[in-house]
Amino acid sequence: MPLAADQKSAIEAQRATSAETRRATVAALEDILYHAHPVLDHGFVRVIDYMGDDGAIVQAARVSYGRGTRKVSEDEGLIRYLMRHRHTTPFEMCEIKYHVKLPIFVARQWIRHRMANVNEYSARYSILDREFYLPAPEHLAAQSASNRQGRGEILDGGEAAMVLEMLREDAARCHDHYLAMLNESEDGARDPARLGLARELARMNLTLNTYTQWYWKTDLHNLLHFLSLRADAHAQYEIRAYAEVMLKTVEAWVPMAARAFRDYRLGAVTFSAPMLAALRRILAGEQVEQPGSGLSKREWGEFVAMIGR
Amino acid sequence: MPLAADQKSAIEAQRATSAETRRATVAALEDILYHAHPVLDHGFVRVIDYMGDDGAIVQAARVSYGRGTRKVSEDEGLIRYLMRHRHTTPFEMCEIKYHVKLPIFVARQWIRHRMANVNEYSARYSILDREFYLPAPEHLAAQSASNRQGRGEILDGGEAAMVLEMLREDAARCHDHYLAMLNESEDGARDPARLGLARELARMNLTLNTYTQWYWKTDLHNLLHFLSLRADAHAQYEIRAYAEVMLKTVEAWVPMAARAFRDYRLGAVTFSAPMLAALRRILAGEQVEQPGSGLSKREWGEFVAMIGR
Amino acid sequence: MPLAADQKSAIEAQRATSAETRRATVAALEDILYHAHPVLDHGFVRVIDYMGDDGAIVQAARVSYGRGTRKVSEDEGLIRYLMRHRHTTPFEMCEIKYHVKLPIFVARQWIRHRMANVNEYSARYSILDREFYLPAPEHLAAQSASNRQGRGEILDGGEAAMVLEMLREDAARCHDHYLAMLNESEDGARDPARLGLARELARMNLTLNTYTQWYWKTDLHNLLHFLSLRADAHAQYEIRAYAEVMLKTVEAWVPMAARAFRDYRLGAVTFSAPMLAALRRILAGEQVEQPGSGLSKREWGEFVAMIGR
Amino acid sequence: MPLAADQKSAIEAQRATSAETRRATVAALEDILYHAHPVLDHGFVRVIDYMGDDGAIVQAARVSYGRGTRKVSEDEGLIRYLMRHRHTTPFEMCEIKYHVKLPIFVARQWIRHRMANVNEYSARYSILDREFYLPAPEHLAAQSASNRQGRGEILDGGEAAMVLEMLREDAARCHDHYLAMLNESEDGARDPARLGLARELARMNLTLNTYTQWYWKTDLHNLLHFLSLRADAHAQYEIRAYAEVMLKTVEAWVPMAARAFRDYRLGAVTFSAPMLAALRRILAGEQVEQPGSGLSKREWGEFVAMIGR
C-alpha cells in the first residue's frame, strides 16, 4: 500500500480543484491527473502536470500562429511522418512531470537519462520510510546462461524462499539500525544520552532496495527515448514495470504520437548494411546461410529472429 | 505591424477557447496568453503555453504529495532561500513556451543557449517574408571606444541617414533578388521559362536583419539564466529588448520567483576574493588605493563602481 | 583559397611542434592534425585536438584499470556490439575538436546540434572578411518537385548565370556597405568626420552566405549522430560537404568505430512494425501489394526502395 | 588499500608507455597521469586522459589559427577576464577524464551533475567487491542543530563505536548474503543444487556505502561548476574529499584557470541587491542594524559573515 491517509487526502484535494485555462487540455489525461498508479510492491507513478498535446507537435512543426490543426487526419499523417523520419524537435514541445516512488537501485538506472529535471526526496534532510522492494516469487530469476546482463529460469520454491528471507531480514535490520544510529524510534522517543548520527551519514546503512521518490520532468521526445529503452524486453523487469505504466499515460496524453511510437520505434527493427544485403539476396530467391552471409554467428541469429524464420 | 489579419484572427480564436483543468493555473499569465507583445520594428514575443507556478517550485523542493503550499509567506521564504543558495533544480520544474519573431542576427545570439527546445520556421521549406529590422535612429550608435563589444555615442543625423539608407536598400534588394531567384513574385506570377532556384539555396542571399520566427521552450531555471545574461546592460540592445519583454511575462507567471531573481541575480554583484579582502580593509577603516589593493586597474574600476564610490 | 600566409605559417609552426605524452595517441590522426581540409569555395575543416581512440571505447565499456585491450579482434567485436545495440555511452568517452570555416547559413543548421561546445568568431568584436559562398554551377539546382525540402534538376546555363550574378553582386555590395558603415576601408583609411557604426550593428547588413568560423568540440557519440543526419542524402549539399570531410577524419581517428558506424548506422535501414509485417508476408511467399499491406502509399514507396524491388 | 596487484601493474604498464604527439601537452599532468590518488578508506581518483591546456582556452576565445599565445601575461589576463565575466564557453574547450572509485551514496550525489559522460561498473554484468566505506571516527558527526542538511558535533567514543559496528556488520552481512544469493563464494565453489539469483537482482541487497567505480569525463567549465559546489564547505564531507583531490589535478593541468577560479569563484561572495544597499549605507558611514536593513535575520547573518564583522 503505497499511500498514507494524509497523502491520499492531499491527492484528493488536488484532484477536486479545477480552473479555467486557455492552454491545450487533454481530457483523458486530466482524468488520471495526480492519481497514483501502483508499480511493484510499494511504488507508484503519478502524472502531476503536463504541457501540450498532439496538436502542439503539429503546431511546432508548422510554427503556426493558431491551433495548428487543419484536419485530424492531416495531423496524424504529419506526426507519423515526423516520427518515421526522426524529426525529433517538434516532440520536444510537449512536457510532462511525474511523481515516482521507486527502489534506489531502479533510481540509479533511471537517472542515467540526463535530459530530464529531477528533484529527489533528500535523505540528508529527511528520514526515509521503512519500505523496501521484495520481488514477487515469479520475478526471482536466475542469472541468464546466455546473456551476461539478463535473467533466466525462475528460482524454485526453496531457493526463492531463502533469497526472500535474506532480502527481507537484511533490509529490515539495516533500516532498524539506521533509525538507531539516528537516535530515532517509531514512537518518537530519543535516548537523551546520545547525539544521534547525522542523516547524511546514517543513510549509507540502507540497502539498495529501499524506496525513494522524486519529481521527474522531461519532454515527449526524451520520454519516448526513455521508453524505447526501458519498455524494451532487454530492460531489467523492475524499471520496465515503471516504463509500461508511463507508456499508458502517454497513450492517454498524446494518442497519435503514441501510435506512431509503437509503429516506428517500439515495434520497428533495424537491419544493418550486411543484414540488408543478406535480406535482398533472400528476396531475390537465393539460398543464404550464415557462412557466406557476411554476418557473424551472433548477427545471423539476430537477423533470423527479426525476419521470423 | 507584425501580424497579418489571418494571424490575428487565429490568435483571437485561440484566446476565445478555454477548458477546465486540474493543473496549476496562473490567472495573470492566462490574461496575456497567445497575445503578441511587439518588440523592435516587426518582432514580437508570445507566451503560448506554460507548466507550473510559484507553488510548483515549492512542491518540487519538498517532493510533496499535494499542492505543497503551507502559507504564502513560507513559500516565498523558501523560494528566496533556493534562489540565494543557487538550489536550481526546483526552478527547472516550471516550463514555458514562446513564439518569437526576431531578426536572424538576434536568433544567432539566442540559439547559443542550448538548454532549450526550438522549432524555427524553415526557409528550406517555406519562403521568408519581406521584413527586416531597421534600427530606430536612437539605436544607431558608434562602436564604443572603451569596450570592443559595445556601443558608444549615437550617430548624428547625416551619418544615421546614410546607414539607414544602406540597410534599407540592401535588405530590400536582396529580398527582391531572393524572390527573383525563386522565380516567385508578389502577385504569384512565375516565368514559365525558368525552373527557379531551390529555397534552401536562395535564402543565402538574404541579409542578417531579415526576420525569422520560432517556437522556443525552456524551463524557468534556464530562462532566468538567459535573462540574467540578456536583460543585462552588457547585452546587445536588440536581444535585450526581447529579454525585457520576457522578464515581464515571468513576473506575471511566477511573481515570487521573479522578485527573488531581481534581488539575488539581476541586482546582485559578486566580489572576487581580492575584492572582498579590499572591502574588508576599507570597512576596518583603512585607506585603500588601487596600488596595494591586490586588484588590477581594471578590477579596481569594477570594484569602485560596485561599492558606489 | 581559404588561408592567408600568416595563417598558414601559424599552422605549420604548430605542426612542427611535438611532445611526449602518456595519453592514447593515433598516428593517422596526428598526420593530419591542424591541417586545413578545403570544403566548398572558401571553407575548411581542421582537426585541432582529440582525446581517446578505439581502445578508449573498449576501456570505458569495461571500466578497466589499464589499456583495456585484450586482442584487437575482441575490441572490434565489442565495438560492433555496442554500436549495434545502441550502447552509446562508451562512445562519449572520445572527444574531438575542430576549427571550421563555413557560410553563416550552414552554421545556422549546424548549431541546432546542441550537445557540443562552440566558440564562434565574434562579429561584435571583430570585422568579418570579404568572403562569401558562391555555389559551383553543378550545385545550382531547382526546387524539388516531390520534396518540399530538397533540390531537383540542375539549372541551365542562363538561369544559373543570372543566379550567380545576383549572389555575387549582392554579397559584394552588402560587404562594401558593411565596411562603409563601419567607416573602415581596405587601405585602413577612415573618414575623420564620421564615427562609424558599431560592429554589432553593421554586421546585420551581411548576407547569409558570408563565411564565419568557429571552434567546435563534441564527443564521438554526438559526432556520429551529427554525421548520421548530415552525411545523409537528405541533408542539404553544403552541410553534407563538411560532414563528408569530417567522416574521413573519424576514419583516421577511430577506424573500428567508423566501420561499425557505416554498417549499423549509415548503411542501416529501419523497418516499422507494419513494414516488418509486410516483409514477413513476402518472405512467406505471399504476394503483397500496397493496398492490403497496411502501409500508406508513401510508406509503401519507402519500403519498396529499402528492399530493393 | 584500493588497488590489487594486477591493477597496479596495469597502471604501471600504462604509465611506462609514451608516444609523440602534436597536441597541447601539460608536463605536470603527465607526471600524475593514471596515478591513483587515494580518497576515503578504499576510494581513489585517477586522471586517465585530458585534452587542452590554459592555451586552449585563450585559443578558443580568439578562434585563432595557431597556438593562440602572445605572451604568458596576456594569456593569464584574458583567462581572468573570461572567468570574472562568466564567459564560460572557452573553458568548455578543455576536457578531462577520470576513473573514480567511490561509495554508492556519493555516486548518487555526483551523478546529479548531468553535463558529463559516465560509464559505471555494471552490477548487472559483474560482481561488486566486498568493499564498503566506514568513516574515520573524526567524521562521525551528529546531525547539525542549525542546519537540516549538515553535520554538527563529533560523536563521542561510545556512540561512535556503536555506529561503526552497525555499519561494518550490516555491510558485511549484506555482502555475504549477496554472494550467497548469487551462489558464489570466495573460493569459487558453487552449490550445484542451486541456480543462483541473477546479478541484477542480488545487488539490491547491498548497502549504500558499498564501493562502485566509474569513468567520468567532462569539460573544464562543467568541472569547475562541479568543484564550486562540491569543494564548498556546504558539501557533504565525503564528496568534498573527492572534489579536493580533483581540484589539485586541475591546478596541475590548467594553473592559470585554477588561480582565476579560486579568486573569482571559490573565494568570491555574492551580495544581493538588498545586501549591496546595506553595504553602501555602511560605507557611507551610516550605522546599520538588521531591523531597517531590508534584510531578513537569516540574510543579515549571512551578510555580516561575508563582510567579516
Of D61, D109, D106, the residue nearest D83 (C-alpha): D61
Provide the pLDDT confidence category of residue B1 given band limits of 50, 70 and 90: low
- Candidate list B230, B240, B265, B281, residue with the active-site label: B230
The Cα–Cα gap between A256 and B147 comes to 53
- Same domain? For A39 and A178 the reply is no
Which of A156, A189, A208 represents a domain boundary (last residue)?
A208
Active site residues of C: 230
Residues of D in contact with C49 (CB under 8 A): 23-24, 51-52, 56
Question: Which is higher by pLDDT, A242 or D185?
Answer: A242
Report how many domains make up chain B: 2
Same domain, A43 and A187: no
Mutation for D interface: B76, B221, B276, most D CBs within 10 A: B276
Report how far residue C47's alpha carbon sits from residue B190's, in angstroms, rounded to the nearest whole number: 46
| Strand pairing category for C19-21 and D19-21 | antiparallel
Mean pLDDT calculated for residue range D31-37: 97
- Grid coordinates of A193: 544520552
Q: Which of B133, B194, B236 sits opposite C200 (nearest CB)?
A: B236
* C-beta atoms of B195 and C150 within 8 A: no
pLDDT of the residue at A68: 55
C15 and C68 within one domain: yes
- Show Cβ contacts of residue D176 under 8 Å, excluding neighbours closer than 6 positions: none
Q: What pLDDT does residue C121 have?
A: 94
Q: What integer pLDDT is reported at residue D216 of this predicted model?
A: 98
Residues of B in contact with C118 (CB under 8 A): 112
Look over chain B and give the mean of its residue pLDDT values, rounded to a whole number: 94
Whether A293 and chain B come into contact, CB under 8 Å, resolves to no
Residue with cell 568557429: C214
Q: Which three cell numbers stand for residue A138?
A: 515469479
Q: What is the Cα–Cα distance from D241 to D246, expressed in whole angstroms?
A: 9
Partner C contacted by B255 (CB < 8 A) = no
Model pLDDT, residue D262 = 97
SS3 A153: strand
Supply C58's cell numbers: 573498449
Of B163, B177, B208, nearest to C206 by CB-CB distance is: B208
Task: Tell me the C-alpha distance between C56 and C248, whole Å.
Answer: 19
CB contact under 8 Å between C170 and B177, yes or no, is yes
Residues A56 and A115 in one domain: yes
B175-191 as b/e: b if 16+ CB within 10 A:
bbbbbbbbbbeeeeeee
- C15, closest residue in chain D (CA to CA): D22
Give dist(CA C194, CA C174) in Å, integer: 19
Q: Where are the beta strands (DSSP E) in chain D?
A: 19-21, 37-39, 43-51, 95-103, 117-120, 141-143, 151-154, 211-219, 269-271
Neighbours of chain B (3+ CB pairs under 8 A): A, C, D
The residue among B113, B133, B148, B163 with the most chain C CBs within 10 A of its CB, best to mutate, is: B163
Per-residue CA distances from C253 to A143, C89, C250, D3, D115 (Å): 38, 18, 5, 32, 24
pLDDT value of residue A150: 85
Are residues B39 and B98 in contact, defined by beta-carbon separation less than 8 angstroms?
no
Q: Which domain holds residue C294?
A: 273-307
**Interchain contact B35–A (C-beta under 8 A):** no
Q: How high is the pLDDT of residue A196?
A: 96
User: Residue A225 has which C-alpha cell?
Assistant: 527515448
**Taking CB atoms and an 8 Å cutoff, what residues of chain B touch A90?**
119
User: Minimal Cα–Cα distance from D19 to chain C, Å?
Assistant: 5
Asked if B109 reaches chain D (Cβ–Cβ under 8 Å), the answer is no
- Name the pairing type of β-strands A211-219 and B95-103: unpaired
Spatial neighbors of D1 by CB under 8 A, at least 6 apart, are D42
Of B151, B170, B207, the CB nearest to C200: B151
Which 221-240 residues of chain A touch chain D by CB within 8 A?
236
Say if the Cβ atoms of D270 and B264 lie within 8 Å. yes
**Lowest mean pLDDT segment, chosen from B219-223, C185-189, C213-217:** C185-189
Q: Does residue B117 lie within any of the structural domains?
A: yes
Q: Which residue of A has its CA nearest to B9?
A: A66
Q: How far, in whole angstroms, is CA C198 from its chain's centroid? A: 32
**Residue A76: closest CA among A237, A206, A259, A242:** A259
Mark whether A226 and A82 lie in a shared domain: yes
- Which parts of chain A register pLDDT below 50? none
Neighbours of C170 (CB within 10 A): 24
Asked if the C-beta of B256 comes within 8 angstroms of chain C's C-beta atoms, the answer is no
D65: which 3 cell numbers? 589559427
pLDDT recorded at residue A155: 96
Q: Which residue has the cell 496549476?
A: B24
Q: Which one of B13, B63, B122 has the shortest CB-CB distance to A119?
A: B63
Spell out which residues of chain B touch residue C199, defining contact as CB-CB under 8 Å.
Answer: 143
Give chain D positions within 8 Å (CB) of B274.
263
Q: Find the DSSP H helices in A17-154.
A: 27-32, 54-62, 72-84, 104-110
Please calculate the CA angle A172-A173-A176 and round it to the nearest 5 degrees: 85
Give dist(CA B257, CA D155) in Å, integer.
Answer: 40
Residues D219 and D74 in one domain: yes
Residue in this structure with the C-alpha cell 548549431, named with its chain if needed: C111
Residues of D tagged active-site: 230
CB neighbours (10 Å) of residue A74?
Answer: 11
How much is the pLDDT for B224? 98
Closest by Cα among C260, C187, C276, C186 to C224: C260
* Partners of residue B22 in chain A, C-beta under 8 Å: 14-15, 17-18, 30, 33-34
The pLDDT tens digits for B232-258 are: 988 999 999 999 999 999 999 999 999
- State pLDDT tens for residues C10-47: 999 999 999 999 999 999 999 999 999 999 999 999 99
| Interface touch A264/C271, C-beta < 8 Å | no
**Which stretches of chain C are DSSP H helices?**
5-16, 27-32, 54-62, 72-84, 104-110, 157-182, 199-202, 220-230, 237-253, 255-261, 273-283, 297-307
Please check whether residue A45 is in contact with residue A245, taking contact to mean a CB–CB distance below 8 angstroms.
Answer: yes
Tell me: pLDDT of B222 over 60.
Answer: yes
C195 touches chain B (CB under 8 A): yes
With beta carbons less than 8 A apart as the criterion, state whether B96 and B257 touch.
no
Contact between C143 and B182 using a beta-carbon 8 Å cutoff:
yes
Shared-domain flag, residues C28 and C77:
yes
Q: What are the tens digits of pLDDT across the range C196-253?
A: 999 999 999 999 999 999 999 999 999 999 999 999 988 999 999 999 999 999 999 9
Q: Tell whether the model's pLDDT for residue B192 goes beyond 70.
A: yes
Interface test with C, best of B197, B203, B206 (most C CBs within 10 A): B197
Helical segments of A124-262, H only: 157-182, 199-202, 220-230, 237-253, 255-261
Q: At what angle do helices A72-84 and A54-62 cross, to 10 degrees?
A: 70
What is the value of pTM for the model shown?
0.97
Least confident range of B29-33, C33-37, D124-128: D124-128
Assess if residue B62 is contained within a domain. yes
For residues B97 and B47, the answer to whether their CB atoms sit within 8 Å is yes
Question: Do C108 and C4 share a structural domain?
Answer: yes
Q: How far is the C-alpha of D309 from the C-alpha of D300, rounded, in Å?
A: 11
Cα–Cα distance for residue pair D15/D28, rounded to 1 Å: 14
Q: Within this chain, do residues D202 and D169 fall inside the same structural domain, yes or no?
A: yes
User: B23 and A33 in contact by Cβ < 8 A?
Assistant: yes
Nearest CA distance, A80 vs chain D (angstrom): 31
What is the percent of chain B where pLDDT is above 70? 98
Contact, C225 vs C192, CB < 8 A?
Answer: no
Considering only alpha carbons, which residue of chain C is nearest residue D18? C22
β-bridge mates for residue D99, sequence order: D46, D215
pLDDT tens digits along D128-180: 999 999 999 999 999 988 877 889 999 999 999 999 999 999 999 999 999 99
CB D47 within 8 A of CB D98: yes
Alpha-carbon distance A229 to nearest alpha carbon in chain D (angstroms): 16
Contact D118, D216 (CB under 8 A): yes
Distance CA D284, CA D88 (A): 35
**Rounded Cα gap, residues B204 and B186, in angstroms:** 20
Closest residue in A to C80 (Cα–Cα) = A299
Kindly provide the ipTM of the predicted complex, given to two decimals.
0.95
Q: Residue C206's closest CA among C175, C179, C165, C249?
A: C175
CA A273 to chain centroid: 31
Distance separating alpha carbons of residues C117 and C15, to the nearest angstrom: 24
Same domain for D152 and D285, yes or no, is no
Amino acid B202 reads A
pLDDT at A69: 53
Q: C259 and C116 in one domain?
A: yes
Give the position of cell 562512445: C91
Tell me, yes or no, whether B83 lies in a domain.
yes
| Cβ count near B299 (within 10 Å) | 21
CATH of the domain at D20: 3.30.1360.170
Q: Which of D112, D115, D148, D276 is best to mutate for the B interface (most B CBs within 10 A)? A: D276
CB contact at 8 A, A223 and A250: yes
Rounded-to-integer distance, Cα B229 and Cα B210, Å: 24
C144 and C161 inside one domain: yes
CA-to-CA distance for B96 and A92, rounded, in angstroms? 12
Query: DSSP code of A138?
Result: G
Residues 6+ apart with CB under 8 A from C31: C252
pLDDT at C66 over 90: no
* pLDDT greater than 90 at residue B89: yes
